[in-house]
Every structure is written in C-alpha cells, then in structure tokens.
Amino acid sequence: SQQGEEDPQALSIQEGENATMNCSYKTSINNLQWYRQNSGRGLVHLILIRSNEREKHSGRLRVTLDTSKKSSSLLITASRAADTASYFCATDGGAQKLVFGQGTRLTINP
C-alpha cells in the first residue's frame, strides 16, 4: 500500500498563481522528499525535509512538514508554464526504500 497520498490528484491554475499540493502519510518517518516528473521522463528530486524540520525553502518552492498530523505540503509560488508536471512525495519506508504517493498532476495555463 502507498505510504504517501497526494491531494489533489490534479490541479490546474493560471500562470503566476501559487500552487499548493499536500501529502499525507501513515507511519513515522526520518525524512520526506518531493520529486517532479515531466511527461515521459524520470523523476527529479526537488527538496528533502527531515523529521525534525518544519519548513524548508528552495527558490520558489516551500515545503512544510507536520509530523503530528503526518502531513506535508509543497507550495510553488509565481507558477510558470514550465512547472507543468506531476509532483510526488516520498517517505522513507525503512532502510533506504522510498515509498511514493500517486502524485499530483499540475497544469499551468498561460
């Protein structure tokens, strides 16, 4: 079964708007990672947040982690057409095994 579940499954917004995606998970974690996947390509690592961190920034990306609620959010500010992709959260399911959610398909309309 999937550890992480993203919400919403699909999101369509206008260029320049902010996009927020959420991830919930079930068991305790050491870290949570977010990845992006463009159509027909592999996944690209965006950001890693450790269980003792609450917020992390990288450029236009902001990730929050609430371990008490077992949830994380990814915010993309000032979205661009190039941000159109699927976004996945992944949690460490023990040892070095990452468990991925089903992903959020983000579409940025020009």
Partner 1 sequence: GAGVSQSPSNKVTEKGKDVELRCDPISGHTALYWYRQSLGQGLEFLIYFQGNSAPDKSGLPSDRFSAERTGGSVSTLTIQRTQQEDSAVYLCASSFQYSNQPQHFGDGTRLSIL
Q: Which stretch binds partner 1 (CB under 8 A): 17-25, 59-67, 76-84, 96-104?
A: 96-104
Does 41 help bind partner 1 (rule: CB under 8 A)?
Answer: yes
Tell how strand 55-58 and strand 104-109 pair up: unpaired
Token pair for 82: 């190039």
Does 33 help bind partner 1 (rule: CB under 8 A)?
Answer: yes
Does 25 help bind partner 1 (rule: CB under 8 A)?
Answer: no
Three-state SS at 11: strand
Distances (CA, A) of 110 to 14, 16, 26, 74: 6, 9, 36, 21
Binding site for partner 1 (CB under 8 A): 2, 30-31, 33, 35, 40-45, 48, 50, 88, 92-93, 95-103
